[in-house]
Amino acid sequence: MLINGARQIGKSYLIRYVGTQLFTHFIEIDLREDKEGPKVFANVRSTEDFYLQLGIIAGGQLGDRSDTLVFLDEIQSYPHLLTMLKFLNKEGRYRYIASGSQLGIALTKSTSVPMGSVDIRQMFPLDFEEFLWAMGVGKEAIQTMQKAFEARQSLNESTHDYILKLFRYYLLVGGLPDAVNQFLADRNMVAIRKIQADTHELYSIDASQYDEENRLKIRKVYDFIPSALENKKKRIIVKNIENKEGKQYSDYENEFEYLIESAIALDVNAISNPRFPLAESVVKNLLKLYLNDVGILTQILYSYNINAILNDERSINLGTVYESVVAQELRAHGYKKLYYYDNKHHGEVDFLIDDFDTLSALPLEVKSGKDYYVHSALTHFVKTPDYHIPQGVVLSNEREVTLKGKIIYMPIYYVMFFHRTTKDEVILPPLEMPSEA
């Protein structure tokens, strides 16, 4: 198994915890540390070479396949080991799990990734439901809320107020495990903000370590994301990244790819012709980028002013924050590609996702203020006959779930129940041969 994801989201901790629970022998090797130090695995080119070095390091701890898990952390440090996983798996001497903070980049650049021999999983910061678990909200309560969501019903006022309050806490704390643990320990926002600021800086430093030639451009793009989101259209205007006229999308394509594949930014692409499947209609140069953690964003935007979010102050537009958390939730729930609708005559719709049940696009509009009924672009979108849109969704702070025409209004926290459905198997019907005339 390969676990991909950004730094500081708990990959190693989770693997270590589960590995020691399920296996008698758990061996952990930090390949980034090895590359910077003894380089034991640098010249390993065969499984026998690998077993020799593994035996030297952990010979007394090795059992067999049934009771031994070998954890290769930061495996992207040695891309040749990615290729070797196929052969290690085939020989079946032990079980293996690997992770890396820049594994996504290594996977896109490698021509010999053993697809089919490894199970690749993407990990994210804690989503809102997981934050609720941490806050002590029980499984039964969440299941009850999910049933209400599925039945398109509202929660009662006291439950709504409590969950919305926790949602606002989540906007401040985000999903970095260290930040959540700090919040649970003492609610100290100064300490929480330091964790978020340090992680934001760490992501920037990682960029310079990965790509020496383009490190300044990567950092400029990454630092530009919050200010881009504060603009009306929220998309990346490439000429503003370095304040240079004549710059084009292609001038930053590698930098965008780094931020997206390293999982520190989430991309949302424009769609001009919203027909299912949406991937066929992407307008590539109209890109929105969101940070991977909403807590990092609110640290940048509001620092220690927590009242901007907790008190729902009218002078503060939280649209950027609400859109960011929706992008984060959808991405974590299996929507590998996110889109938005862009039309110069009718405006924009915040998000489009593929609805595989109706084979159509599902538009989502996110509202942070009281004017949640005002959405001319969404209204036009669902009424356009050529688009064949059965329903649109508006997410806001309002408690009541209501349906007006094709648009359903529901509270913002219900986004935690939007999941890309997956099936274990799909069986084709038997092929019937045509009868002879």
pLDDT in tens, 302-313: 999 999 899 877
Asked if residue 69 and residue 142 are part of one domain, the reply reads no
Q: Based on the structure, what is the number of domains in the chain?
A: 2
Contacts of residue 86, Cβ cutoff 8 Å, sequence gap at least 6: 114, 117, 118
36 within domain boundaries: yes
Single pTM value for the model: 0.92
Calpha distance 252→255 (Å, rounded):
5
32 within domain boundaries: yes
- The b-or-e profile of 340-375 (16+ CB within 10 A means b, else e) is bbbbeeebbbbbbbbbeeeebbbbbbbbbeeebeeb
CATH code of the domain in which 47 resides: 3.40.50.300
Last residue of a domain, one of 122, 147, 179: 122
Asked if residue 406 and residue 377 are part of one domain, the reply reads yes
Q: 10-14, 239-243, 320-324 — which is least confidently predicted?
A: 239-243
Asked if residue 109 and residue 23 are part of one domain, the reply reads yes
Last residue of a domain, one of 122, 149, 176: 122
Asked if residue 106 and residue 136 are part of one domain, the reply reads no
292 within domain boundaries: yes
Which of 236, 235, 365, 290 is CA-nearest to residue 125? Answer: 290
Which of 312, 287, 301 is CA-nearest to residue 235? Answer: 287
Calpha distance 164→180 (Å, rounded):
17
What CA–CA distances, in Å, run from 300 to 172, 229, 250, 326? 11, 12, 28, 18
425 within domain boundaries: no
Q: Which of 314 and 336 is assigned the larger pLDDT? A: 336
Q: Which residue has 């992407």 as its token pair?
A: 282
User: If residue 402 lies in a helix (H) or strand (E), which one and from where to where?
Assistant: strand 402-404
259 within domain boundaries: yes
The predicted pLDDT at position 103 comes to 78
What count of other Cβ atoms lies within 10 Å of the Cβ of residue 99? 22
- Decide: 328 and 266 in contact? Cβ < 8 Å: yes
432 within domain boundaries: no
Give Cα 424 distance to the centre of its chain: 22
The predicted pLDDT at position 437 comes to 47
Asked if residue 165 and residue 68 are part of one domain, the reply reads no
Calpha distance 430→326 (Å, rounded):
41
The predicted pLDDT at position 361 comes to 92
Which of 318, 326, 314 is CA-nearest to residue 301? Answer: 318
Calpha distance 329→31 (Å, rounded):
31
Q: Which of 373 and 26 is assigned the larger pLDDT? A: 26
Asked if residue 214 and residue 308 are part of one domain, the reply reads yes
Q: 46-55, 212-221, 424-433 — which is least confidently predicted?
A: 424-433
Judged against a pLDDT cut of 70, whether residue 425 lies above it is answered with no
What CA–CA distances, in Å, run from 261 to 7, 32, 56? 12, 19, 34
Contacts of residue 29, Cβ cutoff 8 Å, sequence gap at least 6: 41, 54, 57, 70, 71, 72, 73
First to last CA, the chain: 54
Asked if residue 222 and residue 100 are part of one domain, the reply reads no
Paired residues of 122 in beta bridges: 4
Last residue of a domain, one of 122, 156, 179: 122
Asked if residue 104 and residue 67 are part of one domain, the reply reads yes
What CA–CA distances, in Å, run from 25 to 21, 41, 97, 134, 185? 10, 21, 13, 29, 32
Task: Tell me the per-residue pLDDT of 161-212, one tens digit each, with 9 for 90 and over.
Answer: 999 999 999 999 999 999 999 999 999 999 999 999 999 999 988 776 666 6
422 within domain boundaries: no
Q: Which residue has 């330091």 as its token pair?
A: 194
Asked if residue 165 and residue 149 are part of one domain, the reply reads yes
Judged against a pLDDT cut of 80, whether residue 116 lies above it is answered with no
Judged against a pLDDT cut of 50, whether residue 422 lies above it is answered with yes
The tokens of 26 are what?
């758990």
Judged against a pLDDT cut of 70, whether residue 213 lies above it is answered with no
The predicted pLDDT at position 420 comes to 83
Task: Tell me the per-residue pLDDT of 374-416, one tens digit each, with 9 for 90 and over.
Answer: 899 999 999 999 899 999 999 999 999 999 999 999 999 999 9
Question: Where does 102-156 have alpha helices with state H?
Answer: 103-109, 128-134, 139-150
Asked if residue 412 and residue 299 are part of one domain, the reply reads yes
What CA–CA distances, in Å, run from 323 to 64, 93, 276, 291? 48, 47, 23, 11
Which of 100, 99, 106 is CA-nearest to residue 211? Answer: 106
HSE-up of residue 131 (Cα within 13 Å, Cβ side): 31
Host domain of residue 137: 128-417
- Length of the chain in terms of residues written: 437
Asked if residue 152 and residue 46 are part of one domain, the reply reads no
The per-residue DSSP string of 280-307 comes to GGEEEEEEEEEES-HHHHHHHHHTT-TH
437 within domain boundaries: no
The predicted pLDDT at position 436 comes to 59
Which of 155, 220, 194 is CA-nearest to residue 397? Answer: 155
Asked if residue 74 and residue 177 are part of one domain, the reply reads no
